[in-house]
Amino acid sequence: MVFNTKKFIEREKERLRKKVGKEKAIVATSGGVDSTACAMLAHQVLGNKVKVVFIDDGLMRQDEGKSVKALLKKKGINLLILNKQKQFFSALKGLTDPEEKRKAFRDIFYKVLGKAIKDYKARFLIQGTIAADILETKKKIKTQHNVLSQIKINPARYGLEIIEPLKTIYKPQVRLAAKALGLPSQIYKRMPFPGPGLLCRVVDEVTPVRVKIVREATQIVEKYLKALKPFQAFAVLLNDKATGLSKGKRLFGNIIVIRSVESEDALKAKPTEIPYSVLNKIQKELTKTIPSVVKVLYDLTPKPPSTIEYI
């Protein structure tokens, strides 16, 4: 069936209008296409009855908050940035198991949001959950942090009621909706970025130092792969170490994986066929600008059997 973007938007706007009524709502955006489309939809329906917040969890890409704020400002949305980096890092301290890390992230995320909701006296939280998130959670591939009802978390425990306007559509339709809502191409063409952010790309413990490494590496990988327009491309920091040479000395240093995949909806994916010369440029810049990195690998695994992220 052909997706009718206009009809979809009208239907969801009407639902949102009815559901929220005279109450107030909050949208937490990460700057990704899903949550920003939600913010735009809510802003157009609810005006100043909705507050758009960006939780700075310390796990975002370089200057994410600032650039999202600037983009949304042009659309008349006043983004409130909540700096909660310390809280997230202390909740993640010592955790190495992927699902424990996700759970800790989810708990602190909802605690912070719950407080923002109380402060703003809002009753509703509008979330950018999409159909693929729900499908994968049901299949028990992983617990997505943003699919509360599917994983039997009672939102009331956090003092919220959740609205998920995009839960019936997949990424390509979300992009169409985001464009139709008037968002710029920097947003609607944007690569998917997971809710728990760089946590998904740091294997083992998530510390400010390790996140800084992966953030710098991500910037480099994105810079060189931008022209290839991959579905998703990023860097991963492994928990293994390897011996290498840094500034002329032996160093038992870090290993970075370059991950880049082509996909329609993230349910299946295959690795991008990156020219060797591009891989080599990435390798050179990674080892030059991040001295603790002594090995750079390219991940050749499709999904399945692999997943796109590492956690």
Site residues for ligand XMP, 247-266, by CB under 6 A, read 266
When the beta carbons of 194 and 253 are compared against ligand XMP, the nearer one is 194
CA atoms of 307 and 129, how far apart (whole Å): 19
Interface pick for ligand XMP out of 69, 123, 142, 281 (rule CB under 6 A): 142
When the beta carbons of 75 and 142 are compared against ligand XMP, the nearer one is 142
137 near ligand XMP (CB under 6 A)? no
User: Would you call the peptide bond into 155 cis, given omega within 30 degrees of 0 as the criterion?
Assistant: no
Site residues for ligand XMP, 264-283, by CB under 6 A, read 266
CA atoms of 127 and 165, how far apart (whole Å): 7
CB of 135 to ligand XMP, least distance (A): 10
Window contacting ligand XMP (CB under 6 A); options: 3-11, 43-51, 284-292, 302-310 = 302-310
196 near ligand XMP (CB under 6 A)? yes
197 near ligand XMP (CB under 6 A)? no
Q: Which among 90, 82, 87, 98 is positioned nearest to 30, based on CA atoms?
A: 82
Interface pick for ligand XMP out of 43, 145, 201, 210 (rule CB under 6 A): 145
Interface pick for ligand XMP out of 29, 137, 144, 173 (rule CB under 6 A): 144
Interface pick for ligand XMP out of 200, 203, 236, 256 (rule CB under 6 A): 200
Window contacting ligand XMP (CB under 6 A); options: 18-26, 40-48, 93-101, 192-200 = 192-200
Token pair belonging to 305: 């059997």
Q: How many residues bind ligand XMP (CB under 6 A)?
A: 17
CA atoms of 242 and 252, how far apart (whole Å): 5
Q: Yes or no: say if 28 and 35 are a contact pair by the CB < 8 Å rule.
A: yes
CB of 122 to ligand XMP, least distance (A): 21
Token pair belonging to 241: 């170490």
Site residues for ligand XMP, 146-175, by CB under 6 A, read 146
Provide the mask over 201-240, with x wherever binding to ligand XMP is found by CB under 6 A and - wherever it is not.
-------------------------------x--------
303 near ligand XMP (CB under 6 A)? yes
Name the site residues for ligand XMP (rule: CB under 6 A). Answer: 136, 141-142, 144-146, 192, 194-196, 200, 232, 266, 303, 307-309
